[in-house]
C-alpha cells in the first residue's frame, strides 16, 4: 500500500480482516492485523500463500469457476459473496466477502474485506428453528386443550409431530402396567393416520419399563426383540429401529410415544422435541382420562341415584300401602271391638239402672268401668293411627277459649269433686278470644290435660287455668296442677305412646296414650304442646294455637246438650231399628222395653227395613251404618227421597266415630248420630228429642 499513509492506516488497523491478492497468481500481496488474528497465519505465512489455501476442498470448484469468470472478462473486479473459509487450525467459518479491483505495486490486484458471519448465521438459524418449534409446540398445546378424548389428543399431537420431526412413523401408546400390556391409541405414517384404541401388545416391545418410568428414553433394535407376531410385523413394515419416549404425568408413567425410523435417525434436537411433546401429551392424556373417569363416575352416580330413587319410591309406596293396611286394620278392628263392647256397656248400663246398692251393683260398676276404659283405649288407638296415617280429618274454625274450657270443666268437675280438687279459672272462663282449631278435638286435648291434672294432683289440690299471648298471634292455654311434678329426664318421654313414666304401678288409671294423642292433635291443628314442671311443686301443661280475630257466627257446635237426664219415659209410638247385629238389637229392644212405652220393630237388612217402614209408618227409624245389603247412609237417603217417609226422623247408630263421617251424615239429613258403644241415657235423650212435637227441641 504505497499510496497515502491514511489509507494504509485504515487498512492496517481495521478490525475487519482485509487482504490484497494478485488477481493473476491468486497470491496474497498484503494482509492486515485483523486477518492475521482471525485466520491464525502470520503475515509472513500469508504472503507465501494463495487465496485458494484458505478454502476448504469442497469450495475449491466454485472458487476456480469464480476466478476463471473473473479473468475471462478481465474487468475490474467488484463483487460480494458468501464463502466458507478454513482457518489455520482447520475450523471452517462462514465469511461474507467484498472484493474490489485495484492496482497494487504495479499489478492487477483485488482488495478483499471479509466479515465472519458464522455466529450470526448460526444464531439466525437457531432462532428460526426455535421459533418454528415454539410455534409447533404451541399448536400442539392448543390441539391438546381443544381435544377431549384421549384418541383425539393423540391424533392432534401426532399430526403436528410428524411435521415437526419429519419422522416416517409415530405411535402413541397407553400402558396398562398391571396387565403388562400397551394399548395403541393412535399412529401416524407418512401418509396415513391410524386411530385406535383397542389394539394391545406386550409391554416388552417398549423396552425397559422401569427406565422409562425414570424418564429415560429407549432405542430399540427390532431385530434384537424376542420373536413375536408384533415384532415380525414391525420388521415386515420396515421398522428396524425405533425410539420410545416415555409419557409421564404427575410422576406416573402412563404411556409412550414411539418413533420408527432408520438407525440413528434421531438428532438431539428431535429427541428434545419428542420429549417435550410427550410430556405435554402425558399431561393432556392424564387430564382426559381423569375427565373421562369423573364423567363416568358422574353417570354412574346419576344412575345409582335414579335407581335408589326408584327403590325409595317403591319402598315408599310399599310403606304407604302397609300404613294404609295398618290403619284399615285398626279401624276395622276397633269397629269389631266396639260392637261387643256395645253389648257389654249397653247391658251393663241397663243393669246399673236396676241394681241398687250392694255387691251386685259393685260388680256392675266394675264391668262398666272396665268397658269404658277399653272404649277410651280403642278410641285413642284409632285416633293415633289416623294421625300417623295422615288420615285424621280436622276442621279449622274459630273456637272461643272461654267456651271450650267451660265445656271441659263441666265434664271434669265430678272427677275433681271426688278428690276435693278446686279449679282456679274464673277469668279464663270469660276469655272471649278465639283460637283456630277443631272445636271437638281441642276439647278432647284440654279435657285430657285437665283429667291428668286431676289424676296426678294431690288430694285437695288446685288446678289453675290460664290463657295468655305466647308470642305475636299465638295464644297459650295453660293447665297448672299441684301434683308431684315430673323429673326433667322423664319430661321428653311424656308424649310417647303407652309410656306412663311408671304411673302404671300406682293406682292412677290411664292408658299412656292421652298425651301422645294430644300432641298429634295439637300439631295437626298447627299448634304446639309442651310442659314446664318442678318436682314437688307441680306441672304446667300448655297448648299454643293461632289466635284468630274474626270468628264466624257459626252454629251447631254450641255446648253439648246434657241428655243423660232426659228420658222418653211417657212417650208412645213405634220405632223401627235396622241392625244386623243380634246383641245390638237385643240391647235396644231392652232399653226401649224397660224405659219407654214404645213398640219396636226390627229388620236385619236395609231393604227389608224400608219395606217395614212403608208398612208400619214408624215414628222414628234407628239405622246401623254397616248393613249386609246396603249402607245406613243409603237407607237414610232412601227415606228422605220417599215422600211418604220423608218426615220420619232417622238416627244413625254406628261404631264408626270418625268426625268426618258424623258430619257427613248429619249434613245428609240424619237427625242424630250416636256412636257405639251406646250410652243408654244419650239414646233415650235423642229418641225423646226426635219424637218431641216441633219447636220443643
Q: Which residues bind ligand ADP (CB under 6 A)?
A: 448, 452-453, 456, 481, 483, 486, 494, 500-501, 503, 510-516, 539
Shortest reach from residue 514's CB to ligand ADP, in Å? 3
**Helix crossing, 659-668 with 632-641: angle to 10°?**
20
Nearer to ligand ADP, 438 or 481 (CB): 481
The three-state secondary structure class of 601 is strand
Other CB atoms within a 10 A radius of the CB of residue 190 amount to 9
The three-state secondary structure class of 418 is helix
Nearer to ligand ADP, 302 or 418 (CB): 418
Nearer to ligand ADP, 443 or 584 (CB): 443
User: Which of 64, 103, 60 shows the shortest CA–CA distance to 85?
Assistant: 60
The three-state secondary structure class of 668 is helix
Nearer to ligand ADP, 453 or 684 (CB): 453
**Angle, CA of 610, 616 and 619, to the nearest 5°:** 90
| Three-state secondary structure readout of 41-103 | CCHHHHHCCEHHHHCCHHHHHHHHHHHHHHHHHCCCCEEEEEEEEECCCCCEEEEEEEEEEEE
Nearer to ligand ADP, 172 or 465 (CB): 465
The three-state secondary structure class of 342 is helix
d(C-alpha 446, C-alpha 527), whole Å: 13
| Three-state secondary structure readout of 511-560 | CCCHHHHHHHHHHHCCCEEEEEEECCCEEEEEEEEEEECCCCCCCCCCCC
Shortest reach from residue 456's CB to ligand ADP, in Å? 3
Sign of the Cα pseudo-torsion (483, 494, 367, 580, in order) = positive
Shortest reach from residue 498's CB to ligand ADP, in Å? 8
* DSSP per-residue string spanning 174-218: EEETTTTEEEEEEEE-SS-EEEEEEEEEEGGGG--HHHHHTT--E
* DSSP per-residue string spanning 12-52: HT-SS-EEEEETTT-BEEEE-HHHHHHH---HHHHHT-BGG
Nearer to ligand ADP, 63 or 503 (CB): 503
Shortest reach from residue 661's CB to ligand ADP, in Å? 26
Shortest reach from residue 509's CB to ligand ADP, in Å? 7
Residue pair 483/460 in contact by the 8 Å Cβ criterion: no
d(C-alpha 259, C-alpha 243), whole Å: 5
Shortest reach from residue 516's CB to ligand ADP, in Å? 6
Q: Give the helix ranges, DSSP H, for 355-400.
A: 359-388
Using CA atoms, how far residue 554 sits from 285, 398, 551, in Å, is: 78, 9, 8
Shortest reach from residue 425's CB to ligand ADP, in Å? 16
Shortest reach from residue 483's CB to ligand ADP, in Å? 4
The gap from C-alpha 264 to its chain's centroid, in whole angstroms, comes to 60
Shortest reach from residue 572's CB to ligand ADP, in Å? 45
Shortest reach from residue 451's CB to ligand ADP, in Å? 7
Nearer to ligand ADP, 277 or 515 (CB): 515
Other CB atoms within a 10 A radius of the CB of residue 293 amount to 10
Shortest reach from residue 374's CB to ligand ADP, in Å? 13
Nearer to ligand ADP, 225 or 503 (CB): 503
Nearer to ligand ADP, 295 or 493 (CB): 493
Shortest reach from residue 520's CB to ligand ADP, in Å? 11
Instruction: State how beta strands 252-261 and 422-424 pair.
Output: unpaired
Shortest reach from residue 682's CB to ligand ADP, in Å? 24
Nearer to ligand ADP, 511 or 547 (CB): 511
Nearer to ligand ADP, 456 or 577 (CB): 456
In the complex, residue closest to ligand ADP by CB: 510
Instruction: State how beta strands 650-654 and 672-675 pair.
Output: parallel
* DSSP per-residue string spanning 127-178: HHHHHHHHHHHHHHHHHHHH--SHHHHHHHHHHHHHHHH--SEEEEEEEETT
Nearer to ligand ADP, 165 or 513 (CB): 513
Residue pair 173/258 in contact by the 8 Å Cβ criterion: yes
Residue pair 459/420 in contact by the 8 Å Cβ criterion: yes
Amino acid at each position: 500500500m504505497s499510496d497515502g499513509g491514511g489509507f494504509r492506516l485504515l487498512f492496517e488497523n481495521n478490525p475487519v480482516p482485509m487482504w490484497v491478492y494478485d488477481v493473476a497468481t491468486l497470491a496474497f500481496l498484503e494482509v492486515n492485523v485483523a486477518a492475521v488474528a482471525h485466520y491464525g497465519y502470520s503475515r509472513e505465512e500469508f504472503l507465501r500463500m494463495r487465496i485458494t489455501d484458505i478454502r476448504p476442498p469442497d469450495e475449491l470448484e466454485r472458487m476456480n469457476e469464480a476466478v476463471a469468470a473473473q479473468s475471462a472478462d478481465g474487468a475490474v473486479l467488484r463483487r460480494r459473496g458468501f464463502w466458507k473459509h478454513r482457518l489455520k487450525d482447520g475450523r471452517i467459518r462462514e465469511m461474507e466477502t467484498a472484493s474490489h479491483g485495484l492496482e497494487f505495486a504495479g499489478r492487477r490486484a483485488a482488495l478483499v474485506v471479509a466479515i465472519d458471519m458464522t455466529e450470526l448465521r448460526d444464531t439466525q438459524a437457531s432462532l428460526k428453528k426455535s421459533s418454528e418449534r415454539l410455534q409447533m409446540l404451541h399448536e400442539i398445546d392448543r390441539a391438546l386443550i381443544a381435544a377431549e378424548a384421549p384418541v383425539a389428543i393423540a391424533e392432534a399431537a401426532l399430526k403436528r409431530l410428524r411435521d415437526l420431526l419429519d419422522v416416517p412413523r409415530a405411535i402413541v401408546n397407553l400402558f396398562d402396567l398391571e396387565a403388562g400390556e400397551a394399548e395403541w391409541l393412535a399412529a401416524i405414517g407418512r401418509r396415513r393416520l391410524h386411530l385406535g384404541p383397542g389394539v394391545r401388545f406386550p409391554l416388552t416391545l417398549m423396552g425397559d419399563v422401569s427406565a422409562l418410568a425414570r424418564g429415560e428414553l429407549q432405542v430399540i433394535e427390532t431385530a434384537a426383540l424376542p420373536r413375536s407376531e408384533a415384532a415380525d410385523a414391525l420388521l415386515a413394515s420396515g421398522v428396524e429401529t425405533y425410539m420410545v419416549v416415555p409419557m409421564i404425568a404427575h410422576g406416573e408413567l402412563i404411556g409412550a410415544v414411539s418413533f420408527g425410523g432408520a438407525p440413528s435417525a434421531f438428532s438431539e434436537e428431535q429427541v428434545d422435541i419428542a420429549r417435550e411433546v410427550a410430556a405435554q401429551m402425558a399431561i393432556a392424556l392424564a387430564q382426559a382420562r381423569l375427565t373421562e373417569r369423573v364423567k363416568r363416575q358422574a353417570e354412574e352416580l346419576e344412575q345409582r341415584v335414579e335407581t335408589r330413587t326408584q327403590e325409595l319410591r317403591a319402598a315408599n309406596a310399599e310403606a304407604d300401602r302397609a300404613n294404609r293396611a295398618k290403619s284399615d286394620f285398626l279401624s276395622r278392628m276397633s269397629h269389631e271391638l266396639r260392637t261387643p263392647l256395645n253389648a257389654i256397656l249397653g247391658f251393663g248400663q241397663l243393669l246399673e239402672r236396676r241394681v241398687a246398692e250392694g255387691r251386685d251393683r259393685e260388680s256392675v260398676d266394675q264391668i262398666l268401668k272396665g268397658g269404658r276404659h277399653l272404649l277410651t283405649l280403642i278410641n285413642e288407638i284409632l285416633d293415633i293411627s289416623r294421625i300417623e296415617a295422615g288420615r285424621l280429618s280436622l276442621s279449622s274454625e274459630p273456637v272461643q277459649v272461654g267456651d271450650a274450657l267451660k265445656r271441659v270443666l263441666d265434664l271434669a268437675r265430678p272427677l275433681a269433686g271426688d278428690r276435693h280438687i278446686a279449679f282456679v279459672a274464673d277469668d279464663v272462663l270469660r276469655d272471649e278470644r278465639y283460637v283456630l282449631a277443631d272445636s271437638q278435638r281441642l276439647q278432647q286435648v284440654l279435657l285430657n290435660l285437665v283429667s291428668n291434672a286431676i289424676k296426678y294432683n294431690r288430694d285437695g289440690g288446685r288446678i289453675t287455668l290460664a290463657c295468655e299471648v305466647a308470642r305475636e298471634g299465638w295464644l297459650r292455654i295453660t293447665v297448672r296442677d299441684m301434683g308431684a311434678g315430673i323429673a326433667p329426664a322423664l319430661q321428653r318421654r311424656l308424649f310417647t305412646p303407652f309410656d306412663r313414666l311408671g304411673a302404671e304401678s300406682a293406682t292412677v288409671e290411664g292408658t299412656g296414650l292421652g298425651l301422645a294423642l294430644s300432641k298429634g292433635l295439637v300439631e295437626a291443628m298447627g299448634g304446639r304442646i309442651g310442659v314446664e314442671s318442678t318436682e314437688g311443686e307441680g306441672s304446667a301443661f300448655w297448648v299454643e294455637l293461632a289466635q284468630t280475630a274474626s270468628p264466624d257466627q257459626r252454629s251447631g257446635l254450641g255446648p253439648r246438650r246434657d241428655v243423660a237426664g232426659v228420658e222418653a219415659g211417657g212417650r208412645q209410638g213405634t220405632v223401627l231399628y235396622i241392625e244386623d247385629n243380634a246383641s245390638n238389637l237385643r240391647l235396644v229392644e231392652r232399653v226401649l222395653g224397660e224405659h219407654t212405652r214404645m213398640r219396636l220393630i226390627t229388620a236385619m237388612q236395609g231393604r227389608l227395613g224400608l219395606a217395614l217402614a212403608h208398612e208400619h209408618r214408624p215414628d222414628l227409624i234407628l239405622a246401623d251404618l254397616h248393613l249386609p245389603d246396603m249402607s245406613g247412609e243409603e237407607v237414610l237417603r232412601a227415606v228422605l227421597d220417599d215422600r211418604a217417609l220423608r218426615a220420619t226422623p232417622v238416627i244413625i247408630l254406628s261404631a264408626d266415630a270418625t268426625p268426618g263421617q258424623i258430619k257427613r251424615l248429619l249434613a245428609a239429613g240424619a237427625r242424630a248420630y250416636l256412636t257405639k258403644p251406646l250410652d243408654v241415657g244419650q239414646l233415650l235423650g235423642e229418641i225423646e228429642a226426635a219424637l218431641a212435637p216441633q219447636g220443643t227441641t
